[in-house]
Structure 1
Amino acid sequence: MAAQQSQSIQTLLEAEKEAAKIVQQARQYRVQRLKDARTEALKEIEEYKKAKEAEFKAFEASHAGTTSTAQAAIDQETNVKLEEITSAYTASKDAVIKKLLDRVVLVKPEAHRNLKQAA
């Protein structure tokens, strides 16, 4: 009976070792699956990022021409208006200076209107 108990204990120990191996393999498998999932997720993220970056570059390229064209039109319009303002200034500069000097230099002395009413 002692031999049978010893053999049973030996069988239990072997079964425990086998179970420990199985558990260890399961843990390793789980760790490996997590690593694989992370690397796969990183690959998918990179692919998605590249796709969105390419889409953004295409959008930017298609709208960049519109912006530069609009900017060129605005610059041209600004230059035309500046030329108009400059020509108007040049044309009326002398007349405005003459009017200002006439108002300042040529003084006509008159009694104040309130003074006329009192007298």
Structure 2
Amino acid sequence: MSAQNSQGIQTLLDAEQKAAQIVQKAREFRTKRVREARDEARKEIDAYKAQKEAEFKAFEAEHSQGNKAAEEVANKEADVKIVEIKAAGKKSQAVVVKDLLAAVLNANPVAPTKA
């Protein structure tokens, strides 16, 4: 009877070992599958991100053309105005310098009045 009990106990221990191995394999498979799913998700996210970046760049390029044309027109207008202002400054330069010197050299001090 003791041999039978010993054999039964050994059978139970073997079954427990096999069950532990099966559980370990299931855990490893699950861990592996989680990693694969995470990698797949990361790839999908990167692909989606790249697609949206390309769409944005296309949108930006399409809509910035009008801005560049407007910017060029504004720059040309500004250059024309700058030339006009410089010409007016050169034309009036002598008179302005003369008036400034006269104002500085011919000071007319006025005493303050009580309010």
Q: Which position in structure 1 is the counterpart of 2:109?
A: none
Q: Which position in structure 2 is the counterpart of 1:86?
A: 86
Structure 2 residue runs of 5 or longer lacking an equivalent are: 106-115
State the TM-score, normalizing by the size of structure 1. 0.71
Q: Which position in structure 2 is the counterpart of 1:15?
A: 15
* Aligned counterparts of 1:45 and 1:64: Cα–Cα separation in 2: 28
Q: 1:25 and 2:4 equivalent? A: no
Structure 1 residue runs of 5 or longer lacking an equivalent are: 106-119
- Does 87-96 or 11-20 show the bigger shift? 87-96
TM-aligned CA deviation for residue 89 of structure 1: 2.9
Query: Relative to 1, partners in 2 of residues 1:23 and 1:78: Cα closer, same or farther, differing over 3 Å?
Result: same
Query: Relative to 1, partners in 2 of residues 1:50 and 1:103: Cα closer, same or farther, differing over 3 Å?
Result: closer
Query: Relative to 1, partners in 2 of residues 1:9 and 1:69: Cα closer, same or farther, differing over 3 Å?
Result: same
TM-aligned CA deviation for residue 104 of structure 1: 8.8
Query: Aligned residue pairs: how many?
Result: 106
* Aligned counterparts of 1:93 and 1:42: Cα–Cα separation in 2: 69
Which is higher, the Rg of structure 1 or of structure 2?
A: 1
Q: Which position in structure 1 is the counterpart of 2:49?
A: 49
* Aligned counterparts of 2:24 and 2:32: Cα–Cα separation in 1: 12
Q: Which position in structure 2 is the counterpart of 1:76?
A: 76
State the TM-score, normalizing by the size of structure 2. 0.73
Q: Deviations over 1:21-48 (max 9, x none)?
A: 1111111111111211121111112112
Q: Deviations over 1:25-76 (max 9, x none)?
A: 1111111112111211111121121112112211221133123112201111
* Aligned counterparts of 1:42 and 1:101: Cα–Cα separation in 2: 75
* Aligned counterparts of 2:69 and 2:62: Cα–Cα separation in 1: 12
* Aligned counterparts of 1:77 and 1:55: Cα–Cα separation in 2: 34
- Matched letter for residue 84 of structure 2: E
Q: 1:6 and 2:6 equivalent? A: yes
